[in-house]
Structure 1
Amino acid sequence: EGSKPLSALLSGIAQAAYYGNADITEELLRGQLYPEAAPEEFRALRAKMGGLLQSIASADMDLNQLEAFLTAQTKKQGGITSDQAAVIAKFWKNHRIKIHESLINQSRWDNVLKNMNWRVDLKSQSRHIDQINTPVAIVEMELGKNGQESEFLCLEFDEAKVSQMLKKLSEIEESMTLL
């Protein structure tokens, strides 16, 4: 029964620290999860769990690393109990990917490609009559950061430009595979 408040505390810490939920405050967590605990006692527990979660998340621990880390924490004086270690392990197993993605998104400075759509049309207007009814690729890219409004970029490519783009993308792919 004591594992439910701890699991909820870890979720609250993750909400506040990694998912940007400003509504999750220390007072709210204490009032909802540990109303009988003295404020200093709860603050110490929250700080300990927050520190452990930060260590685990910043190292992006796999399950073997996590087990070794938590075992060391249970043997440390003033560390955690084996029951607490089990709750933390279960929490990390369920939230690792989401927390890791959140950390990556928080560390990005520039916009990223969020989405891309394309279609092929026939050109219906042109300055030169011989370009009418030639196929063109219309590419729409959504650029932005998580939590911010996106920008849209619309590009038109003729067959030669698509070939040129594919050649450049192949060069990029080749360079990346060599790393």
Structure 2
Amino acid sequence: MTWSCDAVAVIMADAENAKALSGLLNGIAQSRYYGNLEITEELLKTELYSELPLQEFKALHDKMQGIIKSIASADMDLNQIEAFLTAQTKKQGGITAEQSVVIAKFWKNHKKKIRESLINQTRWENQLKNLKWRVDVKSQSKHSDQVNSAAAIVEMEIGTKDKQSEFLCLELNEAKLNEMLKKLNEVEESLAALTQIS
């Protein structure tokens, strides 16, 4: 099978377009979701689309950024993204089938990391980083009635990604543990009732 020069040129152009679009999508992810402030629109234009007029590049950049935002905010799975991208290819002023393939591949590779980034961006309070628990039996105590009684020891690591963690250690006897479990059940029932209402 022999290829004409025109066919080879078309294949090469398609490969270059896919590579540039992949770079653009990665650049948008870097600047918008991964916090890399060195990646700017100007840099992406210069490195990937130097031949494209500024207005056309801006339109392409904004379109791709909007598509990634829609996909990320909906946390689309592979079936949802396929349906979404198919709809985008049929929409006037939408995307091409080739762009659809590149976007789907990009999302498959970046979904988990972008989702984690979005979750971390919405946290402003401390979070529970680690929890360990065990049951100990007291062998010594100031009060003889507490010897050989069981105690639950709960160790929690609390903090944010940027700060040093704090550690909290709780010792609960059987009565306190039962009281805590009762309160947790009440919270669970309240949350279940709220989710059924909405």
CA gap of 1:21–1:135, structure 2 versus 1, over 3 A, is farther
Q: Look up the equivalent residue of 1:5 and give its one-letter code.
A: A
Structure number, greater radius of gyration: 2
Q: Quote the residue 1:7 is aligned against.
A: 22
Deviates more, 1:53-62 or 1:101-110: 101-110
The higher-RCO structure (CA 8 Å, 6+ apart) is 1
Of 164, 169, 181, which aligns to 1:154? Answer: 169
| Offset of residue 11 of structure 1 | 2.1
Q: Quote the residue 1:21 is aligned against.
A: 36
1:131 aligns with 2:159: no
| Offset of residue 32 of structure 1 | 4.2
Q: Partners in 1 of 2:132 and 2:80 — Cα distance?
A: 40
Of 110, 120, 125, which aligns to 1:105? Answer: 120
Q: Partners in 2 of 1:92 and 1:115 — Cα distance?
A: 30
Q: How many residues of Structure 1 are paired with residues of Structure 2 in the alignment?
A: 179
Q: Partners in 2 of 1:26 and 1:124 — Cα distance?
A: 67
CA gap of 1:142–1:21, structure 2 versus 1, over 3 A, is farther
Q: Partners in 1 of 2:171 and 2:65 — Cα distance?
A: 49
Q: Secondary structure at the match of 2:153?
A: strand
| CA deviation map 1:61-117 (0-9, x unaligned) | 333432333223223343221101111112223323332332233223433322111
Q: Quote the residue 1:62 is aligned against.
A: 77
Q: Look up the equivalent residue of 2:34 and give its one-letter code.
A: Y
Q: Look up the equivalent residue of 2:129 and give its one-letter code.
A: K
Structure 1 unaligned residues grouped into runs of 5+: none
Of 79, 86, 106, which aligns to 2:101? Answer: 86
Q: Give me the identity figure in percent.
A: 65
| Offset of residue 49 of structure 1 | 0.9
Q: Partners in 2 of 1:95 and 1:169 — Cα distance?
A: 36
Of 64, 72, 96, which aligns to 2:111? Answer: 96
Q: Look up the equivalent residue of 1:13 and give its one-letter code.
A: I
Structure 2 unaligned residues grouped into runs of 5+: 1-14
Q: Partners in 1 of 2:179 and 2:163 — Cα distance?
A: 32
Q: Partners in 1 of 2:27 and 2:152 — Cα distance?
A: 47
Q: Partners in 1 of 2:50 and 2:141 — Cα distance?
A: 72
Q: Partners in 2 of 1:175 and 1:119 — Cα distance?
A: 28
Q: Quote the residue 2:10 is aligned against.
A: none
Deviates more, 1:16-25 or 1:30-39: 30-39
Q: TM-score, normalised by structure 2?
A: 0.71
Of 146, 164, 183, which aligns to 1:168? Answer: 183
**What RMSD in Å do the two structures reach over aligned CA positions?**
2.9
